[in-house]
Each structure stands twice: as structure tokens, then as C-alpha cells.
A and B are shown apart, each in its own frame.
Chain A
């Protein structure tokens, strides 16, 4: 794809976000954010007995690249185990978004995958205690722009 096609791909995810919304009774509810940019994302995840992602939703607010990246990663991780997400290289996401397009905003592009990787690392220890990983939903966006 050329640069313009990557941009169109990103804008399609922005305008038609995949897996957007919330999940009732998730096993994982985690926030991620770049407060300085006003980007924030909340991921809702349900996993099966093998810690494989059965369903996922996201909500968020932020720039074009962060929201498109969050939408894209929800598509990419369905059916993967949390271990596989931990080990997933960032390039798997960046290559699809076009490195040249997002290289100056890698923190935005990787907001969604970073949030999921953090959850994948933390969830097993919660699980061992018989707990879910549920964070309070915090919207940072207005804090920095008011």
C-alpha cells in the first residue's frame, strides 16, 4: 500500500470502529492513556478457560491514530491467548497502519495494544486469586483540555 492507502485504511477504522462499545460482565476492564495528548481508551475483554480472547470491545477518545489503532488491535487479538498478546510484536500493528504514517505518533498508535499487553501481564495473578481485573473507568481527556 502507498501512504495514501494507509491513511484511508486508518480513517476507515476511525469512521467505522470495529468492536466499539462495552461488554457486560467482562473478565478484564482496563484503561490506558496518554494524558498529555488527551488520548484515553478502555478495553473490555472476555476470555475462555485457556485465557483466549472470546470477545472484546473498546471505548475511547483521542486522536485519529490512537482510535484507529485501538479499533484495529481489537480485530487482531480476537481468538488469541493473553500469552500471545504479551508476545505480539508491535510491528504486527504498525505494519498494518503504515510505519511511515504513524512513526511520529507511535505512542498513539500503540495505545490500544499497550493497554492490552498490560492487562495480559496482570490478569494471571488476579486470576490466581480468583479475581477479575477490573479498573475504575477514568476519563482523562477533559482534565488536560479544560
Chain B
């Protein structure tokens, strides 16, 4: 039996319950369903909305260094604060927020195993009170887009050199079938299919029914069986980079792959890119 390579980035719900009043820690809820925080959240948690808070509203990109500093100051997060992310959909958006925090070099980032679903299933307390923490000084590093983020030209090069890609979308999206479903919009992509050579390993295969991550043994078997191994340079993608940040987290921290990048342009970019090669 193998352990997670970086087990220190994962905390359990019980640990969080015992640290609700820890002044060195900030709990951050990040959901797809934007009003879930208002329905009820872990007492003391602050909300970060992936769409409004993390993304530039004009250019398709993330917020600036200054914007990140302002965001964290407003949430009472200092440079040395440990941030525990959790959210709905088995921590999709929690991992996405974690990934964006890492782009700006925030050091102490943690994920609550099982996310919102497990916290509620265990009948732990929820609060509707939005805390108001004193502003903190925060000095962000320059955003580093080189080590954990991939851009389309890099993906093109990646394909050309035969390096592995993981398409973490559903099999129907991977095959392109989804665009042909009757009565539904095609969600912004003109072509269906996947990036040539990509292996389809849906993100949710990395989690159990209760939302917690599978064991290191299970994860290792899942990815290695598809040729996604630690010695390779791996790029993960999905539709807009949210589900693939979950897989990025698994590969980077739970399995310890040294070179994993998230292609956040993902299918909404590739499926619209003139001349980009596609497989079905």
C-alpha cells in the first residue's frame, strides 16, 4: 500500500471541525452553485466565487496580482494564513480555487477531503452568517503561468511530441456525442471530440461516493493503467479547466507527479480553434 505523496495538503472534516476558530487558518467555500454558501456554510468560512472573484471580467484570464492581493486582503487572508478549500461537486471548484491560489504562489493551501457533501452528511453545523474579518496586508507573488498552467500553443506542441494528455470530461463529451444531443445548446464549442492522443479518465473516477479521494493505490492504478505516469509531462483539460484542476490536484499532490499542468482554455478554446486537430 502506498501513501499520498503530499498528504499534508488534505485535511479531514473532523480536523476542520476542530480548527474552526484557528486564527492562522481561513476556511474558503468555493462552489459551482453560487448560492450554496448563502444556504449555509461551515461556520467562519468565507466565500470565493470562481466566476466573479478569480476571473478577469474583461479578458479571458485570471485576476491580476493586484486583484489577487485585494481579494485575499478582503477575506482576511495573510501571506502566512493556511487556507482550507472546500465546496460542492466533490471539490471541483475548491480545487480550481486552490490551483489559482498556487498560480500566485500562496504557500499554505489545503483541501477538505469530501467537501461540502461530506460535511453535511456528517450533520456538522452550517451557518448563514457571513463573517467579516479585519483586512490583512497581502503581498502576492507575480502570477506564475509557467509551471502548472498550459496554453494552447504549448498543448499543440505537447500533441506533436506525443506527450500525454488527460481529458477528464465524460465519455460523451470526449467522443463528441454530447454536441448531438437533441434540445441542448452546444455550450460554446463548434466542434466535438478530444485533443488527439488524450486519454479519457473522467475526473470523478478519482473520488468515492462520499466525495473523498480514493486511496493512493487506487489512484495510481487508475492513471498508470492509461499510461499517465509520474515520469511524464502531463497536461489535463476539460471544458473550462475546472474539472481538470481536480485531476491536476490528484496527480500533483496525491500522486506527486512533478510535471502536471492544467490547460484552462480546455475544450471551449480547443473546440473553437481554427485548424486545431481533433479526434473522435
Contact check, B39 vs A36: say whether CB atoms are below 8 A apart. no
Q: Is B36 an interface residue (CB 8 A)?
A: yes
Contact check, A35 vs B187: say whether CB atoms are below 8 A apart. yes
Interchain CB contact (< 8 A) of B32 among A10, A32, A63, A104: A63
For B, the interface residue count at a CB cutoff of 8 angstroms equals 28
Q: Is A87 an interface residue (CB 8 A)?
A: no
A11 to B38, CA, bound (A): 9
> Which A residues lie within 8 Å of B38 (CB)?
7, 11
Contact check, B34 vs A34: say whether CB atoms are below 8 A apart. no
Q: Tell me which of A36, A135, A140 has the highest count of chain B C-beta atoms within 10 A of its own C-beta.
A: A36
Contact bitstring B175-201, A, C-beta under 8 A = 1, else 0: 000100111110110000000000000
Number of A-B residue pairs with CB-CB distance less than 8 Å in the complex they form: 72
Query: Which A residues between 10 and 45 are near B, CB-CB below 8 angstroms?
Result: 10-11, 30-38
Question: Which one of B1-9, B150-158, B166-174, B221-229 is at the A interface?
Answer: B166-174
Contact check, A145 vs B34: say whether CB atoms are below 8 A apart. no
Contact check, B204 vs A33: say whether CB atoms are below 8 A apart. no
A104 to B53, CA, bound (A): 11
A118 to B204, CA, bound (A): 33
Q: Is B17 an interface residue (CB 8 A)?
A: no
- In the complex, the chain A residue whose C-beta lies closest to that of B242 is A36
Contact check, A32 vs B35: say whether CB atoms are below 8 A apart. no
The smallest C-beta distance from B34 to any residue of chain A, in angstroms, reads: 6
Contact check, A63 vs B33: say whether CB atoms are below 8 A apart. yes
- In the complex, the chain B residue whose C-beta lies closest to that of A118 is B183
Query: Which B residues between 48 and 71 are near A, CB-CB below 8 angstroms?
Result: 49, 51-52
> Which B residues lie within 8 Å of A38 (CB)?
32
Q: Is B89 an interface residue (CB 8 A)?
A: yes
The smallest C-beta distance from B168 to any residue of chain A, in angstroms, reads: 11
> Which B residues lie within 8 Å of A1 (CB)?
none
Contact check, B183 vs A31: say whether CB atoms are below 8 A apart. yes
Contact check, B240 vs A36: say whether CB atoms are below 8 A apart. yes
A136 to B32, CA, bound (A): 28
Contact check, B183 vs A144: say whether CB atoms are below 8 A apart. no
> Which A residues lie within 8 Å of B44 (CB)?
none
A115 to B10, CA, bound (A): 41
Jot down 8 A-B pairs with beta carbons below 8 A, ordered by A. Answer: A30-B183, A36-B188, A37-B32, A65-B33, A135-B182, A138-B183, A144-B173, A146-B204
A interface residues, Cβ below 8 angstroms from B: 7, 10-11, 30-38, 63-65, 101, 104-105, 135-136, 138, 140, 143-146
Going nearest first, the 10 A-B pairs with the smallest beta carbon separation are: A63-B33, A64-B35, A31-B183, A36-B187, A33-B184, A7-B38, A143-B172, A104-B52, A143-B170, A104-B51
